[in-house]
Structure formats: structure tokens, C-alpha cells
Amino acid sequence: MPKPKVFVTRIIRDKGLDLVKDFCATEIWPGELPPSREVLIEKVRGVEGLLCLLTDKIDAEVLDAAGPQLKVVSNHAVGFDNIVVPAASARGIPVGNTPGILTDATADFAFGLLMAAARRIPEAERYLRAGQWVTWGPSILLGMDMVGKTLGLVGFGRIGRAMAKRASGFDMRVIYFDPSAAPDPALNARPVDSLDELLRQADFVSLHTPLTSATQRLANADFFARMKPNAVFINTSRGPVVDQDALYQALKNKQIFAAALDVTDPEPLPLDSPLLTLENCIIAPHIASASEKTRDDMAVLAANNLIAGLKGEPLPHCVNPEVYEQKGKA
């Protein structure tokens, strides 16, 4: 029996890729950059499975180019805003993602960004490398304390809750705004009734919300105007959740103390972005989940989602389980 034909849009970690190769007739895009739109449409023709990354836009055009034999789309990411899920559902195609696996790695990195911004760590290293450190001084590179301060979490899913756990080690008070989240008595975190209340109280504001039409440009000029003037802003969710022009103005005009971002819009961030001119803005290249174990586990789960879909079995993690109800009624 011939192996099912699949296309993998980038080289992923061997632990997952080997599973795909063993089960499938696999074509892998070898480039460091994602395939172009034209190449993607050409490569998906006739495949039964597609394993993609968050840099690949998977919409009705791509799904139709693949053809009616396409059984599954597996996204090597937790977020799936790169996939038009309703288009997949309309065609009876389950879409997989990789939740849970990267929670701790992302929360570790987000809290690391919080500390780095608060204590001006990257700025201090640049100061030293530039030869500006000539003596110890009582007022050099003063930062913000974390102990006893208030951390405000916008979004209280897996990663938001993991941030709350880490903040408890610094005796921080934790509040969150997420109308859809159930309280967790095991965590020292208190819900607030509105985003405005969170912004007024928080010394650190960290975004942990998915990208939707409701959250796009959520962090805008009004958002930053409502933050405390000595507050620190952290984003490890998705770049388009932030209005970067508004963030630049807030940082430049000292409206807030500092910001630290792992995600931007676009990605990669152009080198002429005004944000890169600011000492009080830390920007990382979307690496919050980039630990070896986490990326291995993501690759394995993405592979398992793909293989389950090819077998006609429920995906271990499916973002549109309604497709199974549709198939049951067919």
C-alpha cells in the first residue's frame, strides 16, 4: 500500500520529522525562509496531509489547490491565526495545533523579558560593551523593583497561569482580565472586572491573548495612556495585538517605563523600525518556545496530529472538532 503523500513547509526537529518520514511519502521544503505563496500552492497539489508553520497562510485557495483528498492540516504552533479554520471546517478537514507543550518555556521567557526590562539588563550590557562603564555610581542604570509589585495578565489561559506561578516566587500581586477564564483557587491571582482596572493597577502588563478580530491592536494609544508611567509592558502573544506606532510613542515620550516583545508585526521586524532606536525596548525574534525539549515535543505532536488525520483518527489536539460531527452526520 503506498504511503500517503504529505508536504512539510519547513524542516522541523528530527524527532517529529522522522515520524512523518516513516509513515508518509514526504516532501519537505528545505529553505530557511518559508515557501512563497506560489510555491506553497504548487507543492500542496495532490497531498493528503499538510504540516505547516505559523508563517504559512493556509486559506481556501491553498486548501482547494491541494484537492479534495486533503485529510488533515497540522500546524506546528499553538496559535492558528495563520489558518482560515472555517474554510478547513467547511471542507471537512481537521486542523491540529500544539498546545500545552510550550507553556512553561514561553512563561519562562516572558518572565525573563519582564526581569530584563525592569532591571535594564540588555541596556546595561550595551553600556559595558560600548566602554561607558568607567566607575561604579549610585545612580547608574536604575531599574524597577519586582518584589511586591502588581503583575497584570491580559489573558489567563495556560501561559497566563504559568506566569502567575512564576510571579508568586517574587511576592508579586497578580491580577488578570479574561472574562472567559475560570478562577483558579490554587493560584494567587485575582480577576478584575475590566481592562481599564487592570491597566490602572498593574506595574507590569503582560499579554497572553490569542489574535482575533477583537484583540487586534488591543494595545493601542489609549491602552498605553491608561498604564502607569513607570509600568513595563510585555508581549509574547502575537505581534498584531499591539499597535507598534502607539507603543513607540509611549516609550519615546516616557509614558511608560519600558517594553519587551517576543513578537512583532511584521516578522521579522524591519531594521528601520523606530522601535529599534529605543534603549527602553527589548525585542527578541519570536523565540519564547525555543528550548530544545519544547521544540522536540512540538514537532512530535505536530507529527502525531498529521498521522492521526491521515489514518482517519481524531487528532490528539484539534482546533475544529466540529468536523467529526459533520462526518458523523454525512
pLDDT at 5: 98
Cis-peptide into 35, omega within 30 deg: no
pLDDT at 326: 76
The pLDDT tens digits of the residues spanning 159-188 come to 999 999 999 999 999 999 999 999 888 898
pLDDT at 328: 64
pLDDT at 1: 81
Does the annotation count 76 as an active-site position? no
Residue from 42, 125, 267, 313 carrying the catalytic annotation: 267
The pLDDT tens digits of the residues spanning 230-256 come to 999 999 999 999 999 999 999 999 999
pLDDT at 329: 52
pLDDT at 28: 98
CATH 3.40.50.720 domain position(s) in the chain? 5-100+292-329, 103-283
Does the annotation count 286 as an active-site position? yes
Q: Which CATH class is domain 103-283?
A: alpha beta
pLDDT at 325: 85
Q: Which CATH class is domain 5-100+292-329?
A: alpha beta
Residue from 161, 286, 295, 317 carrying the catalytic annotation: 286
pTM comes to: 0.91
Q: What is the DSSP string of 71-125?
A: -EEEESSS--TTB-HHHHHHTT--EE--TTTTHHHHHHHHHHHHHHHHTTHHHHH
**Whole-number Cα distances in Å, 153 to 177, 235, 324:** 6, 10, 34
pLDDT < 50 regions, the chain: 330
Residue from 13, 120, 208, 238 carrying the catalytic annotation: 238
pLDDT at 264: 98
